[in-house]
Structure 1
Amino acid sequence: MSEWSGRSSPQKPDSQGESPLNVAMTGPFTDERATSSLSGWRDIMNQWYSETDFVLLNRDGFAADLSMSHLGNISMYRVRATELVSRRTPAQVAKENVGVTKMIWQKAGRCIVTQGNRRATVDTGDLVFLDFTVPYTVECVTPFTQFVLHLPTESISKHPTFAGRSAALRAVRLAAAAAPRPWLAFINELCNPYPTQAQTGIHASAMDAVSNLAAMAQFGSQQREPLRSAIFQQALHYIRSHCHEEGINSEAIAQAVNVSRRTLFRAFSEAGRGIEDCLLTARLYRGASLLENPSAELTVDSVARLSGFKSPSHFHAKFIERYNTTPGEYRAASR
């Protein structure tokens, strides 16, 4: 068995810069592994990621770490390492021939991806999509950080943005400048904590985000879903994550997703939703979750405050209106 060391993570090179959305990915990763040996890294990746071969590019030293989490049938990884080549061979594909699409978001550094007769150079901020059923090589020529998603290819192919066309995502690159920032911001937010009960909605939005980015990579920018849909999804996720904070309003939401208030209102109007109604729904959902938690010995007044309501009476009235029961009765029935 390999030794997993506590060695510091490899540093990204200053010359490569950082992703346009340089948000620290320190969210709900459930497992983390680190090593300073190539054999240790091979063991970690084969156990937690996928069966892969590796070759060192820098003989002066090696360091790598892997963090992982899951959202339904989406597996999420943060991978950091010094210069390295990873190869998925025909034998490994035959042994583990699963319908999975791999999305790599290059958060720092540069890599060269080869799959079949396609070759793509992926710089900081770019995305590249790979087909797990076809051998590939990823040559990371600098120290790097990557955010990687593994998703069912069938789910992506069935997404409306593909309009019945098959997903042929083999070393298909999407440049950072061509990817709508709201979709990228949403994917980045996947690493932030969120209520377990909200996973269904977040999972659907994640599939929307990745499927639209994949379609743009495969078919070109003309396949882009209207940008306001991406803005709405990102804004909705921001509301769910920050609804309890003081001062959250349309201006704060617009600033968080990098659009004007006018564009934000248009995005919500197109989706048939209102910003205030979404805020109220998120706050009531948060309140209900706190009431359901047996370890949270909170008064109803405290739940109201922690859910973003300015007064307990407002929380009480809106809770009855939405759930047809009082907060106290709801808590009693939930325990």
Structure 2
Amino acid sequence: MSYSQPIAAAQDNHRFHDLGGWQDYVNQHFPALEMASRTTAGFQAQARSCALGDYTLTHIGSAASDVDRTPALTRRANAGFLKVMWQLSGQLELNQDRRSVCLTAGRATLCDTTRPYRIRLSDGAHLAVLLIPYDVDNRLPRYAERVSATELTDMPTMQAALGAITALARSRPAPNDPGISDVMQGVGTMLAATFARAAERDECGLDTQRIGRAEHFIATHMASSDLTPDRLAAALCVSRRTLYGLLARHGTTPARLITETRLSHARDALAHDPGASQSITDIALAHGFADSARFSHAFKDRFGAAPSVWRTRHAGS
């Protein structure tokens, strides 16, 4: 599948035969960038741009080049934008926030101009770029932080959004045409839904990482008498409320996760001690339980047998 071809009629159409002129144009129409050519032939680029209310759609064709939004340039910025990019031909590699995505024709991604990023374009690359100001939707910064430099895989929605924007630009509407607001409101809704779904998938991955870190911290501090939800939250660099919310999404609580992790490691200790070289009390204390009675009660509730019985049953297994 490929996206729409460049808009045939646009309000701003330019061709460039040197990198300097191209960079000047880009920096006048986009948040400032540093650019470098990678072509051995003469550099060429073209841009067809159309303002659509608060948004700007630009179709770009470029020779092989590198584009950098440097830390110095981001510090000088006084406004934030999202750049949604649809790859039409050639390849684009985007790096931001320690993530990287490589787009071929028919793929889409986004980046955030408030943080550094780098784009590497292949020779003859062609893409459509929608520039969206942050103040269009206050959810944009949160989405961008989660999904910048990742592939937006909701292809039907992304294709529909680009098709609607391209059709609007081809109609060459007057700046005050009410149709612009109607179309872009619908496009904004489609894109926001796509970003939200992508952010939700990312949140699931982040949850898994955080829970893994929580389990590791409990496992390495399980004998501590002060292993509390507050200490666990501090170890994960999150608030107590965030910790409870994180675990609630996975059907547990901090106290339950601490107890479950302690019991799991205590069970492993019993399995590796079939000769009973350690007493049940020793194992209980080593895994953070105040006494063997509480440990035995919790262990039986969790695994269906007292620790001593479980060890006998699993000796040599």
Q: How does 1:86-165 map to 2 (within 5 A)?
A: 86-158=67-139
Aligned-partner Cα distance in 2 for 1:218–1:62? 37
Describe the superposition over 1:176-213 as per-residue Cα deviations: whole angstroms up to 9, x where unpaired.
75756434432432332065231221121121122223
Share of identical aligned residues, percent? Answer: 21
Q: Give 2:167's aligned residue.
A: 189
Provide the C-alpha distance between the structure 2 equivalents of 1:53 and 1:121, rounded to a whole number of angstroms: 20
Is 1:31 equivalent to 2:7 in the alignment? no
Does structure 2 retain, via aligned residues, the 8 Å contact 1:127–1:176? no
Q: For the residues of structure 2 that align with 1:56 and 1:180, how far apart are their CA atoms?
A: 30
The question of whether the paired residues in 2 share the 8 Å contact of 1:112 and 1:122 is answered with yes
Uncovered stretches (5+) of structure 1, i.e. residues with no partner: 1-18, 224-335
Q: 2:186 aligns with which of 196, 205, 227?
A: 205
1:167 shift after superposition = 4.2
Question: Residue in 2 aligned with 1:73?
Answer: 54
| AA of the residue aligned to 1:173 | E
Report deviation, 1:21. Answer: 3.1
Gap change, CA 1:97 and 1:137, over 3 Å in 2: farther
Determine helix, strand or coil for the equivalent of 1:133: coil
Aligned counterparts of 1:87 and 1:180: Cα–Cα separation in 2: 25
Residue 40 and residue 104 in structure 1: after superposition, are their counterparts in 2 closer, same or farther (change >3 A)?
same
Amino acid at match of 1:83: A
Change (3 A) 1:119 1:50: same
Cα offset, 1:148, TM superposition: 0.4
Gaps of 5+ in 2: 205-317
1:31 CA drift (Å): 1.5
- Rg larger for: 2
Question: C-alpha separation between the residues in 2 aligned to 1:49 and 1:181?
Answer: 23
The residue that corresponds to 1:252 in the other structure is none
Between the aligned partners of 1:66 and 1:174, the Cα distance in structure 2 is: 24
Match of residue 245 from structure 1: none
Aligned position for 1:173 = 151
- Quick one: which amino acid aligns to residue 149 of structure 1? L
Distance 1:139 1:55 in 2: 10
8 Å contact 1:58–1:84 — kept in the other structure? yes
- Asked if the contact 2:27/2:33 (under 8 Å) is kept, the reply is yes
* Equivalent pair of 1:26/1:191 in contact (CA under 8 Å): no
The correspondence of residues 322-333 of structure 1 with structure 2, limited to 5 A, is none
1:142 aligned counterpart, secondary structure: coil
SS of 2:47's partner is strand
TM-score (norm 2): 0.56
Task: After TM superposition, give the deviation of residue 146 of structure 1 in Å.
Answer: 0.9
Q: CA deviation at 1:125?
A: 1.0
TM-score, normalised via structure 1 length: 0.54
Task: Give the Cα separation in 2 of the matches to 1:157 and 1:20.
Answer: 31
Q: Give the partner amino acid of 1:172.
A: T
Instruction: Give the Cα separation in 2 of the matches to 1:89 and 1:220.
Output: 28
Match of 2:282 in 1: none
